[in-house]
C-alpha cells in the first residue's frame, strides 16, 4: 500500500483535510495550533486507490520551535515514508514565510508533491487559491476541507500521481474517454461527429468536472463510453454540430483543456496549413494525446502522393511528437472509422501509461552512459536519478546537481529516447529538471 503524507504549517487545516479524506472523524480539530498531539494514521481510499494516510499535524510541537527544526524533525520523517505529499496552505491567511520555506524544501522532495490550497470555499477563496502558484509546486488544487469543495478534483489528482495500476473495474470502464474534434472550417468535423455518434446521440449539459459552459455529446464504441467535449459560452445544446464549424482558436483551447484525446481533422484535398499545425501544437502544449484524421480520402486521386505530402509536413512540423498516429478516413461514407476509434483508444492508453521507477532508471543509466551530460561553464552536470511523478501526459522528473542547466539538445535526447524506448508515438512528454546539492 502506498503512503500519502499531509504536510504544512500549523493551523492550515491538515487535520480537517485528513478527516475529510479518511471519511470519518478521527483527528481532533481545533483552533489552537498544534492541538493534535499524536501522529494520525489511517487506511483510506483516495480516488479509488487504497492508501495509508498520515497526518503530521501536531508534530510541529514536538520538534524544536524553529522553522528548520520543524521541517527536519517532523516533516522529514513523514516525507521519507511518503509516496505522495499533500502540501497544505491556507488561502485565508495567505502565504507566509513558513509556507515558502516549506515549499522550497519540498521542491526537492524525492516524491511527487500536490499543492492543496485549503479554505478556498466560495468564489473569493478560489481566486485566492491562485496565489499559491508562486510556490513553484505546480497548479494549486483549491479545496475547502470544512465544506468539502474541490474533493472530486483532489481525488483525481491523487489517483493520477500514485503509481497505481489503472483499475480495470466496472467504474473505470464506465468513465468516458474525453475527446475533442478540432480542425479548420469545412474539414469535416460535423460530418465526423454525426458518423461517430449516429442515432445514439445524447447531449449532456453542464456538469461537474466540465467548465461552466461546456457541453458534451456521449456515445459508445466497442470499448465503452466516449464523450465528445465542446465548450463555448452561449452555445445552444441542440445545435452543437453547427457550432463546431465556427470554432475559434480560443474555443479550440477550451475544448482541448476538457479533452484527453484530440482528433485533428485535416481536409486531405486541401493539405495541412498553418491553422492545422497551430491546433496540433496547442494539443502538444496542453499535453493532450493527438490523433490526426486525413478526411475526404474518398475524393483523393493520388493517395500515395497525397499521403506522402501530408506526412512530410507533419514530420517537419511536429518533431516533438514523432510517430504521431495518422488515419485516413472518409467521414461522409464511414470508411476508416473502424480504425480511427481503436487508434484513439491506443493513444489514450499510452498517454495514461506509467513506467515503473526501476525500469525508468535502467533506461536512464543507459542514456547517461551513452552520452554524458555536457559541461556548462566548465562544470559537469551530474544527473542522479529519474522518477515519473505522473502520467496524462507522461511526465519525467530528473534529479541531479545543476540539472536545471541541462542544455536543450540533451533534454531532447532524453525525451526522444524515452518515447522510443517505451513506445509512445504521438504522445506529448514532459521533462522536469530538479537541482539537488
Residue numbers at the binding site for ligand GDP (CB under 6 A): 8, 10-16, 29-31, 33, 36, 57, 118-119, 121, 144-146, 183, 185-191, 244-245, 295-296, 298-299, 330-332
Alpha carbon distance 287, 160 (integer Å): 14
**Residue 9 labeled ligand binder:** yes
Cβ-based nearer residue to ligand GDP, 196 or 429: 196
Cβ-based nearer residue to ligand GDP, 95 or 431: 95
**Residue 185 labeled ligand binder:** yes
**Residue 312 labeled ligand binder:** no
Cβ-based nearer residue to ligand GDP, 188 or 426: 188
Strands 113-118, 382-390: pairing kind: unpaired
**Least spacing, CB of residue 251 vs ligand GDP, in Å:** 13
What is the grid cell recorded at 423? 513506445
Cβ-based nearer residue to ligand GDP, 29 or 164: 29
3-class DSSP state of 207: coil
**Residue 408 labeled ligand binder:** no
For helices 249-258 and 274-285, the axis angle rounded to 10 degrees is: 30
Alpha carbon distance 138, 327 (integer Å): 35
**Least spacing, CB of residue 33 vs ligand GDP, in Å:** 6
**Least spacing, CB of residue 156 vs ligand GDP, in Å:** 19
**Residue 57 labeled ligand binder:** yes
Alpha carbon distance 232, 230 (integer Å): 7
**Residue 296 labeled ligand binder:** yes
**Least spacing, CB of residue 306 vs ligand GDP, in Å:** 13
**Residue 188 labeled ligand binder:** yes
Cβ-based nearer residue to ligand GDP, 151 or 422: 151
Alpha carbon distance 143, 138 (integer Å): 15
Q: Judge whether 164 and 158 are in contact, CB under 8 Å.
A: no
Burial profile 194-229: b = 16 or more Cβ within 10 angstroms, e = fewer: ebbbeeeeeeeeeeeebeeebbbbbbebeeeebbbb
**Residue 230 labeled ligand binder:** yes
Cβ-based nearer residue to ligand GDP, 119 or 354: 119
CA distances to 39, 55, 87, 98, 405 from 77, rounded to whole Å, are: 11, 12, 15, 18, 30
**Residue 169 labeled ligand binder:** no
**Least spacing, CB of residue 110 vs ligand GDP, in Å:** 23
Cβ-based nearer residue to ligand GDP, 162 or 268: 268
**Residue 343 labeled ligand binder:** no
Cβ-based nearer residue to ligand GDP, 190 or 387: 190
Cβ-based nearer residue to ligand GDP, 119 or 288: 119
Q: Judge whether 225 and 304 are in contact, CB under 8 Å.
A: no
3-class DSSP state of 217: strand
Q: How far is CA 397 from the centre of its chain?
A: 14
**Residue 34 labeled ligand binder:** no
What is the grid cell recorded at 236? 445552444
What is the grid cell recorded at 354? 506509467
Alpha carbon distance 324, 316 (integer Å): 12
- Cβ atoms < 10 Å from Cβ of 189: 24
Comparing C-alpha atoms, which of 260, 261, 264 is closest to residue 247? 264
**Least spacing, CB of residue 277 vs ligand GDP, in Å:** 17
**Least spacing, CB of residue 245 vs ligand GDP, in Å:** 4
DSSP state for residue 164 in the 8-state scheme? P
Q: How far is CA 270 from the centre of its chain?
A: 33
Alpha carbon distance 414, 156 (integer Å): 28
Q: Which residue ranges make up the annotated binding site for GTP? A: 8-15, 55-59, 118-121, 183-190, 230-234, 295-298
Amino acid at each position: 500500500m502506498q503512503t500519502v503524507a499531509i504536510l504544512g504549517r500549523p493551523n492550515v487545516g491538515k487535520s480537517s483535510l485528513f478527516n475529510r479524506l479518511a471519511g470519518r472523524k478521527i483527528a481532533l480539530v481545533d483552533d489552537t495550533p498544534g492541538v493534535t498531539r499524536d501522529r494520525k494514521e489511517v487506511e483510506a481510499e483516495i480516488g479509488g486507490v487504497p492508501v495509508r494516510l498520515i497526518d503530521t499535524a501536531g508534530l510541529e510541537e514536538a520538534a524544536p520551535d524553529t522553522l528548520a527544526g520543524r521541517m527536519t524533525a517532523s516533516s522529514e520523517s513523514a516525507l521519507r515514508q511518503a509516496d505522495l505529499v499533500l502540501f497544505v496552505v491556507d488561502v485565508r491567511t495567505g502565504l507566509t514565510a513558513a509556507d515558502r520555506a516549506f515549499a522550497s524544501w519540498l521542491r526537492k522532495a524525492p516524491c511527487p508533491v500536490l499543492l492543496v490550497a485549503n479554505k478556498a470555499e466560495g468564489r473569493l477563496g478560489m481566486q485566492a487559491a491562485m496565489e499559491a502558484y508562486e510556490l513553484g509546486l505546480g497548479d494549486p488544487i483549491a479545496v475547502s476541507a470544512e465544506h468539502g469543495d474541490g474533493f472530486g478534483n483532489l481525488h483525481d489528482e491523487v489517483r493520477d500521481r500514485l503509481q497505481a495500476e489503472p483499475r480495470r473495474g466496472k467504474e473505470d470502464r464506465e468513465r468516458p474517454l474525453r475527446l475533442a474534434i478540432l480542425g479548420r472550417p469545412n474539414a469535416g468535423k460535423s460530418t465526423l461527429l454525426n458518423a461517430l455518434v449516429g442515432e445514439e446521440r445524447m447531449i449532456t449539459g453542464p456538469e461537474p468536472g466540465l467548465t461552466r459552459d461546456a457541453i458534451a455529446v456521449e456515445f459508445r464504441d466497442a470499448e465503452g463510453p466516449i464523450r465528445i467535449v465542446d465548450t463555448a459560452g452561449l452555445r445552444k445544446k441542440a445545435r452543437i454540430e453547427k457550432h463546431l464549424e465556427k470554432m475559434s482558436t480560443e474555443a479550440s483551447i477550451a475544448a482541448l483543456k476538457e479533452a484527453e484525446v484530440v482528433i485533428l481533422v485535416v481536409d486531405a484535398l486541401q493539405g495541412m496549413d498553418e491553422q492545422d499545425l497551430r491546433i496540433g501544437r496547442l494539443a502538444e502544449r496542453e499535453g493532450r494525446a493527438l490523433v490526426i484524421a486525413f478526411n475526404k480520402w474518398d475524393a483523393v486521386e493520388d493517395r500515395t502522393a497525397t499521403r506522402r505530402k501530408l506526412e512530410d509536413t507533419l514530420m517537419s512540423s511536429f518533431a516533438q511528437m514523432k510517430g504521431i498516429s495518422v488515419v485516413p478516413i472518409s467521414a461522409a461514407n464511414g470508411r476508416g472509422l473502424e480504425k480511427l476509434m481503436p487508434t484513439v483508444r491506443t493513444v489514450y492508453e499510452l498517454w495514461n501509461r506509467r513506467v515503473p521507477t526501476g525500469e525508468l532508471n535502467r533506461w536512464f543509466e543507459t542514456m547517461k552512459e551513452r552520452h554524458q551530460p555536457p559541461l556548462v561553464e566548465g562544470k559537469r552536470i551530474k544527473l542522479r536519478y529519474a522518477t515519473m511523478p505522473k502520467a496524462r501526459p507522461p511526465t519525467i522528473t530528473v534529479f541531479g546537481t545543476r540539472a536545471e542547466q541541462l542544455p536543450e539538445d540533451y533534454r531532447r535526447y532524453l525525451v526522444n529516447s524515452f518515447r522510443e524506448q517505451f513506445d509512445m508515438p504521438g504522445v506529448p512528454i514532459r521533462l522536469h529538471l530538479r537541482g539537488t546539492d
